[in-house]
Amino acid sequence: MCFTVAIHASREEIEKRFDGSFEEPETFAPGYYFSAFTFPRLPVISGRDNHVIRMYRWGLIPSWVKDEAYAEGIRTKTLNAKCETITEKPSFRNAVKMNRCLVISKGFFEWQNRDNKKIPYYIGLEDDQLFGFAGLYDTWTNPATGEMNYTFTIITTTANPLLAVIHNTKQRMPVILPKEKEQTWIDPGVPLDSALELLVPYDQEKMKAWTISRLVSAPGANKNVPAVIEPYNWSGVK
């Protein structure tokens, strides 16, 4: 699964990589650690305007949700969406047809079960470049306040060999889209069947990963620091 990501890149770097501009530049701040369970706002590009980068909140709230209490409950269950069931689940089956998006990132974190210990890893691309996760978004209007909420989920698939070794309990990974496939994914004019064919494991030869310290899991610690992704030697743990 994918519940923690890093976006330690400047606004200018993101705009250059994705050939777009932030709708509200002042709302983006780079970070080494974002947890889905805090429902952060992250940079997203949708098919409705593929040159505009908007800040959407993690945890998809479907447009059909009736009240705020239900919205608060459902978003904890929609942080990720399994590619195998997105056309069936009520929360995702409409969004996958027309509301596909890129969730911008530079890396993510997973934990390996090793000798009954959880060993944290940082994972990114081999060239340390920004990339886009395949995502879905939706817009929900709070009937009590009239506020419009733009939210997203990250799609997961089966793990490639690299991630199967790291995420060795569930053997899942987020869908990372090759750069040349990003616009195809978000284009609402692309038939659903063709879009779904893109939801495959990313080439492990184009990725890299290393073990990091337990700072990433330390309660109350400031994780938005470079040290959270620095290599750490766990050689003493079998």
Name the catalytic one among 2, 83, 101, 182.
2
Helical residues (DSSP H) of the chain, grouped into ranges: 11-18, 68-74, 95-98, 161-166, 182-186, 192-196
Name the catalytic one among 83, 101, 110, 182.
110
Active-site residue flag, 110:
yes
CB 28 within 8 A of CB 22: yes
CA dihedral 180→182→187→190, nearest 10 degrees, is: 60
CA–CA distance, 129 with 121 (Å, rounded to integer): 18
DSSP state of 212: B
Six token digits for residue 100 = 């596909």
Active-site residue flag, 83:
no
CA–CA distance, 8 with 26 (Å, rounded to integer): 16
DSSP state of 195: H
Q: Check residue 115 and give left, alpha or beta (phi > 0: left; psi -120 to 50: alpha).
A: left
Residues with catalytic roles? 2, 110
